[in-house]
């Protein structure tokens, strides 16, 4: 029996009920109807429940998803998705500017591609594991505080049974198995955005993003909000409705993991980077899901010049996010925690206490906060940043990728990244995005530099 993940109505309804409570709607009456009919919660960590429900319950789920979408939100004014309204709520929106580089851009871009891959690879085997599982597995092999790729060597059998490695990733991402950079959506999307810029330039539209996806992205390699938006495109819906229609994942992390290229190709111009990221993000996301992508793109655009430390980069990132939004408040809180605690475990524990009860582990709000906390606590150091963010749990590979990209840009060149991290990648990337499989990170830096310097 095929249970396609992230699209079954009986699973979407549970996620939508939680999302409604987060974004200022009152879903209790609809939740009661769902429970009374025999409906259950959304799967805690997987993308689909084990088996189908009755036709009646599935039809009810579809009707309730539409009813939930019509509920008014108390946060709608403070958390808009439209770009003009976002800008109007950002009193410190950055002025457009020409970049001022302290070092050449191309080596920084190669470092950024490598850093993104390394951070992703570090987090892959422990994706979906709880925080105590990550800590226990690393401690069992003498790798805590985290300082190297995870290994299964030396892990007691009972511990491995309680906290099994990510099934899809262990074969390619544990230290003893790494042979080049394996495929991951956290690298696929930067490749797709590189294609987007090559075909349409920096004035691309959201419809152009959709065209590239339909041409180049296998449907089975899209997940959560991206999979729902892909389905909506195939059903004839157009952006931005693709982000809203029966899409309870619209504030999850998917848009954030697509943001790097927008920052890399607008070095020194965080406003332009954020505007590009917005046009990309609204295909699949709304409100805080969009803000997360804008925040990261602005941080990266600032870091790409080599003229600012990580703290200045993070402050600039917040200038493109409505200050009253949930994402801005979460990032500010995370930075304060990182500034006032010596032990990052204490920071991670505080973030989990604040966010885990209400948020899914892939939601953009807690994950963006964790990225900001890790970069702050490590002072932008590459190893410190990726190890802290992965050790903090939640969406470990995506967070590692983003923190790695930022910290590697700040490091300035591939040579500045420790060889123990980059050598196992063998300058080779596997991907399902056509024509890029087996490409080297040096070649990707060349292509990205060409888009960044194109008039």
Structure tokens belonging to residue 81? 């998705």
Residue 398 annotated as part of some ligand binding site: yes
Residue 65 three-state SS: helix
Smallest Cα–Cα separation from 375: which of 448, 295, 444, 321?
Answer: 295
As a whole number of angstroms, the distance between CA 295 and CA 316 comes to 8
| DSSP assigned state of 210 | H
Using an 8 Å Cβ cutoff, are 182 and 169 in contact?
yes
Cα end-to-end distance, the chain, whole Å? 52
Structure tokens belonging to residue 177? 């198995």
Residue 437 annotated as part of some ligand binding site: no
Cα atoms found within 13 Å of the Cα of residue 393, Cβ hemisphere only: 25
Smallest Cα–Cα separation from 399: which of 424, 352, 364?
Answer: 364
Using an 8 Å Cβ cutoff, are 152 and 176 in contact?
yes
| DSSP assigned state of 268 | T
Residue 102 annotated as part of some ligand binding site: no
Beta-carbon contacts of 191 under 8 Å, excluding residues fewer than 6 positions away, are 431, 433, 436, 444
Using an 8 Å Cβ cutoff, are 233 and 211 in contact?
no
Residue 341 CA to chain centroid, in angstroms?
A: 25
Using an 8 Å Cβ cutoff, are 155 and 165 in contact?
no
Work out the burial of residue 408: count CB atoms within 10 Å of its CB; fewer than 13 is exposed, 13-18 middle, 19 or more buried. Answer: buried
Structure tokens belonging to residue 108? 């920084």
Using an 8 Å Cβ cutoff, are 110 and 278 in contact?
no
| DSSP assigned state of 363 | B
Binding-site residues for Mg(2+), please? Answer: 395, 397-398
Feature table: binding site: 395, 397-398
């Amino acid at each position: 029996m095929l249970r396609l993940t992230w699209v079954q109505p009986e699973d979407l309804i549970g996620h939508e009920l939680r999302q409604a409570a987060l974004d200022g709607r009152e879903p209790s009456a609809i939740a009661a109807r769902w429970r009374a009919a025999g409906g259950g919660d959304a799967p805690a960590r997987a993308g689909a429940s084990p088996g189908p429900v009755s036709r009646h319950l599935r039809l009810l789920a579809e009707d309730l998803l539409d009813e939930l979408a019509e509920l008014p939100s108390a946060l709608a004014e403070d958390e808009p998705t439209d770009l003009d309204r976002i800008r109007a709520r950002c009193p410190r929106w950055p002025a457009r500017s020409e970049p001022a580089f302290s070092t050449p851009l191309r080596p920084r871009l190669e470092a950024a591609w490598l850093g993104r891959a390394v951070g992703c690879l570090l987090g892959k085997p422990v994706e979906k594991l709880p925080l105590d599982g990550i800590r226990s597995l690393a401690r069992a092999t003498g790798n805590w505080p985290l300082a190297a790729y995870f290994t299964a060597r030396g892990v007691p059998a009972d511990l491995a049974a309680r906290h099994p490695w990510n099934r899809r990733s262990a074969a390619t991402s544990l230290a003893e198995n790494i042979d080049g950079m394996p495929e991951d959506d956290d690298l696929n999307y930067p490749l797709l955005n590189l294609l987007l810029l090559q075909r349409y330039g920096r004035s691309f539209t959201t419809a152009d993003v959709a065209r590239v996806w339909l041409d180049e992205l296998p449907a089975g390699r899209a997940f959560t909000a991206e999979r729902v938006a892909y389905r909506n495109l195939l059903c004839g819906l157009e952006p931005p409705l693709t982000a809203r229609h029966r899409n309870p994942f619209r504030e999850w992390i998917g848009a954030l993991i697509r943001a790097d290229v927008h920052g890399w190709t607008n070095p020194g111009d965080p406003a332009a980077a954020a505007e590009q990221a917005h046009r990309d993000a609204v295909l699949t996301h709304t409100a805080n899901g969009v803000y997360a992508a804008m925040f990261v793109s602005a941080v990266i655009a600032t870091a790409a010049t080599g003229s600012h430390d990580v703290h200045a980069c993070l402050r600039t990132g917040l200038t493109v996010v409505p200050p009253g939004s949930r994402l801005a408040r979460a990032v500010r809180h995370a930075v304060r925690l990182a500034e006032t605690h010596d032990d990052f475990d204490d920071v991670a524990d505080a973030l989990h206490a604040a966010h885990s009860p209400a948020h899914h582990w892939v939601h953009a709000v807690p994950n963006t906060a964790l990225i900001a906390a890790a970069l702050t606590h490590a002072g932008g150091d590459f190893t410190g940043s990726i190890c802290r963010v992965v050790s903090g749990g939640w969406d470990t590979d995506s967070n590692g990728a983003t923190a790695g990209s930022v910290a590697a840009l700040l490091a300035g060149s591939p040579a500045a990244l420790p060889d123990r991290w980059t050598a196992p990648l063998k300058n080779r990337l596997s991907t399902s995005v056509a024509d890029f499989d087996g490409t080297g990170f040096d070649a990707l830096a060349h292509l990205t530099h060409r888009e960044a310097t194109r008039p």
